[in-house]
Amino acid sequence: MTRPTSRDVATAAGVSQATVSLVLGDKWRGRVSERTATHVRETATHLGYRPNLAARNLRLGTTRTALLVVPALTNEFFARVYTGAARIAAEHDFGVVLYPSPDGTGPARDPFASARAALDGVIASSMAADALDALGGDGLPLVMLDSDPTAGSAAAHVNLAIADGMRQVTEHLLALGHHRILHLASAIDTWTFQVRAEALAALLGPGAELRTVRAPLSVEGARTAAETALTAPGAPPTAVICDDDILAAGACKAARRLGLRIPDDLSVTGFDDLALATAVEPELTTVRLPAERVGEQGMTALLAVLDNTPWTAPDLPVELVVRASSGPAPTP
């Protein structure tokens, strides 16, 4: 069965191809009656007509394609970011190409012969910013996610209220009587993790003890780092604040290996609210980040930039979710 063409739609509807083009290109107002426009759309739907996007894009000089650059597909957070971006893109007849950095957060090879010819714009996580150097897309509209809004040449930024998330989890633990805190920080040197560290340090008063240990963003890497920190000389921490749920899972494994009960002997908190947060036992107290909203706003921002429309938005709110991994500080 051959694919119906615009000529077929015109013949079936009893109008000219020019009229079909105006209606299906949404440029009919003031040129075609609303009754005719409705008739053409209904006829196209009945015939199963689909526009030749490649030909149309060639005429317009655009590809209607955005590139989403993320650290790794194995991270659930970025899969949800893609879901949100793709949803908004589909509503505007755009496609989203997902480009994970092969090494997680390091440089990557250019997947395009010419990024400028293949793409209309780029949405990138700050955790995969190094991959941008390989794209050769200088001059392409760029929207940065979870990144320093005062740095770089991005046309727009989409950020989460990361500092407020750290405030919520820190105040939660302080209210439970915790004053010796271990910060299990991500070893990835990027803005979003720097904000967490700075916010935590600023929130703790002079009576609190804070020790920071960096760990690879993996369960086993976090377990090793946490186990070493928890057995170090001196008074042990009563709570571990982790930059990510993956790090928190590693901290929980370390605690169990050392015979520590969670939360009786040690409270553990995460960041992200991944599915992992409710898979561990006890379930994890964590900061919920609206990943799909990040993707939605990232694509919305890019569409605004492409339309030469100013785009600003407040940081997306985050929420502390209290579960069983945090409790009162153990009595001396």
What residue segments make up the domains of the chain, in order of their start?
A: 6-51, 62-159+292-316, 162-289
Residue range 186-207: average pLDDT?
93
Q: How far is CA 283 from the centre of its chain?
A: 23
Confidence at residue 64, expressed as pLDDT on a 0 to 100 scale: 85
CA distance 16 to 8: 10
Confidence at residue 250, expressed as pLDDT on a 0 to 100 scale: 98
Does the structural domain 62-159+292-316 have CATH classification 3.40.50.2300?
Answer: yes
Q: Are 126 and 190 in contact (CB under 8 A)?
A: yes
pLDDT tens digit string along 78-136? 999 999 999 999 988 898 988 876 555 444 454 544 344 468 889 998 887 666 665 55
CA distance 113 to 123: 19
Spell out the residues 6+ positions from residue 60 whose beta carbon is closer than 8 angstroms to its own.
none
**Statement: residue 7 has pLDDT above 90:** no
What is the Cβ-side half-sphere exposure of residue 187, based on CA atoms within 13 angstroms? 13
Binned at pLDDT 50, 70 and 90, residue 51 comes out as low
**Statement: residue 181 has pLDDT above 60:** yes
Could you give phi then psi for residue 281, rounded to 5 degrees? -130, 120
Confidence at residue 310, expressed as pLDDT on a 0 to 100 scale: 87
**Statement: residue 284 has pLDDT above 50:** yes
Spell out the residues 6+ positions from residue 19 whose beta carbon is closer than 8 angstroms to its own.
10, 13, 28, 32, 36, 40
> Tokens 């803005």 appear where?
191
CA distance 197 to 68: 27
| Mean per-residue pLDDT over the chain, rounded | 87
CATH says 162-289 is which class?
Answer: alpha beta
User: Would you say the CATH fold of 162-289 matches that of 62-159+292-316?
Assistant: yes
pLDDT tens digit string along 140-172? 889 999 999 988 778 999 999 999 999 999 999
Confidence at residue 58, expressed as pLDDT on a 0 to 100 scale: 38
Length of the chain: 332
Binned at pLDDT 50, 70 and 90, residue 4 comes out as confident
Cα–Cα distances in angstroms (integers) from residue 321 to residues 49, 120, 165, 198, 288, in the given order = 48, 38, 10, 22, 7
Structure tokens at 8: 């077929």
Question: ω into residue 314 within 30 of 0, thus cis?
Answer: no
Q: Are 204 and 170 in contact (CB under 8 A)?
A: yes
Residue range 279-295: average pLDDT?
97
Confidence at residue 138, expressed as pLDDT on a 0 to 100 scale: 58
Spell out the residues 6+ positions from residue 251 whose beta carbon is closer than 8 angstroms to its own.
184, 222, 223, 226, 240, 242, 268
**CATH-assigned architecture of domain 6-51:** Orthogonal Bundle (1.10)
CA distance 302 to 144: 10
